[in-house]
């Protein structure tokens, strides 16, 4: 099945063209500034954003700037195993405590995927 590119997104012939989706894997706590910039730019373009947070990226969940992404309505799922391994125990509001399955779903459903 070939893909056709238009100004909005990749899509299959005959497929309904909808909103672009960006998936971002956050596996470190070292790139918050870049994550915030990417999310702001994507939001300005009307792109739907889904984050999957794991490993050392879970430390960002405690940062006010990261919480601003959640408050803005960006979809966030975390690897609950990583979260607990890093010593966190509380259940977070508006953040899905998930697994690598959720990560796979995000990667499958997005048009573009970035690892930070």
> What whole-number distance in Å separates Cα of residue 82 and Cα of residue 99?
9
Token readout for 79 is 């690897």
Which superfamily is assigned to 20-115 in CATH?
Answer: DsrEFH-like (3.40.1260.10)
Domain segments of the chain as ranges: 20-115
pLDDT digits (tens, 9 = 90+) for 54-83: 999 999 999 999 999 999 999 999 999 999
8 three-class SS:
coil
pLDDT (0 to 100) of residue 19:
82
Judged against a pLDDT cut of 80, whether residue 10 lies above it is answered with no
What 3-state DSSP class applies to 34? helix
* Mean pLDDT for the stretch of residues 19-30: 95
Higher pLDDT, 86 or 3: 86
Reported pTM: 0.83
């Amino acid at each position: 099945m070939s893909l056709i590119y238009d100004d909005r997104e990749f899509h299959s012939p005959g497929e309904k063209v909808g909103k672009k989706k960006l998936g971002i894997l956050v596996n470190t706590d070292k790139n918050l500034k870049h994550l915030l910039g990417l999310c702001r730019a994507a939001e300005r373009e009307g792109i739907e954003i889904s984050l999957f947070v794991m490993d050392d990226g879970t430390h960002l969940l405690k940062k006010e700037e990261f919480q601003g992404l959640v408050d803005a309505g960006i979809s966030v799922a975390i690897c609950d195993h990583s979260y607990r391994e890093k010593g966190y125990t509380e259940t977070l509001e508006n953040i899905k405590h998930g697994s690598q399955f959720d990560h796979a779903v995000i990667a499958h459903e997005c048009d573009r995927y970035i690892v930070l």
